[in-house]
Amino acid sequence: MDIDKLNDEHGLKGQLTFIKGKGEFPFISIQNKSATAIISLYAGQVISFKPHSEAEDLLFLSQKAFYEDGRAIRGGIPVCWPWFGSNFRGCDLPDHGFVRNGLWDVVKTVAVSESETLITLRFKYNPNRADCWPNIFILELDISVGESLTLNLATHNIGRKTFYVTQALHAYFLVGDIHKVAVLGLEESYYLDKLDNDQQKYQDDVVTVPFEVDRVYKDVSSELTITDPIFNRNIVVTSNHSKTAIVWNPGRNVSAHIVDLKPEDYKRFICLEAGNVVVDILSIQPDSSVMLTVNYKIQPHKRINQSTQ
């Protein structure tokens, strides 16, 4: 992509510029009166969001992340679409779908105010993928950068047949110490334990992460909160059109074998993902659309009545 052309067509003076990022990928750099943010057009991925009032970024981004065509960027908020998890389709496409491994187009940029910036990105049907994904679609991602961060993922079926999608916004949140954080809002709910052959289990208390965790929670609340006493903040995740949530952290042993993570990085993030996965498969009819909207907001830390806090 031509950076100069992008700036001519979509740059916003004093608020949004296009730059060459790592790996020569085109990045969007945003600085308004509320926050700063970085978005990679490769993968359509927010990789940084930091309100001016905060000492730390909202998001974890691995220092060993790959910035190479065909490889996912480890950290930020990857878009998993049109499938979440393993690719069982018998073709050479990656886990978690193909939109996090390609360039997105810029549709528009808007200075909503001095404190809020809106970007719309688009990923379009590619006939070269028809053998594996023979569906005609437009995928759009609205990103609002202000006092909070909001992502709206819209799938439009512009073809002649119904297709099915699983999806997630795979957010990596930066935390002070994984062993000190807790996730509120999943109490008294059921989850599938991906580390135990998808056995269904019951969550009776707040979620803590003393070791490797990979869970899909069903029929979840629209508001979940990560409490972080080390960074003295809570991260509030509010979703619409999502019935499932994924909690993931690789733990010490697995993290040591992930090539784009440092061995101790597992202590510095938790993935809390809003989505439609496993038991929440979306059916999208011709000439119809579905949305997934998630808001991420940082609030002052509040202690909870739980021994790990």
Could you give the domains of the chain?
3-300 (2.70.98.10)
Q: Write out the two tokens for 24.
A: 């020569």
Tell me the C-alpha distance between 16 and 28, whole Å: 7
* CA distance linking residue 112 with residue 144, whole number of Å: 9
pLDDT at residue 212 in the model = 98
Q: Are 155 and 162 in contact (CB under 8 A)?
A: no
User: Judging by DSSP bridges, how do beta strands 26-31 and 167-169 pair with one another?
Assistant: unpaired
pLDDT at 305: 55
CB 298 within 8 A of CB 235: yes
Please identify every stretch of the chain with a pLDDT value under 50, giving residue numbers as ranges.
Answer: 306-309
Torsion 56-170-120-106 (CA) sign = positive
How far is residue 270 CA from its own chain's centroid?
12
What's phi and psi for 22, nearest 5 deg? -60, 145
> How many Cβ atoms sit within 10 Å of the Cβ of residue 309?
16
Question: Tokens 């952290």 map to which residue?
Answer: 249
Among 290, 241, 271, 261, smallest CA distance to 78 is for 271
- Sheet containing 16-20: give its strands across: 16-20, 26-31, 35-40, 45-51
Q: What confidence score (pLDDT) does residue 93 get?
A: 73
Cα 206 to Cα 187: distance, rounded to the nearest angstrom: 5
E strand intervals along 41-157: 45-51, 79-80, 105-113, 116-124, 137-145, 149-157
Query: According to the model, what pLDDT value does residue 132 have?
Result: 78
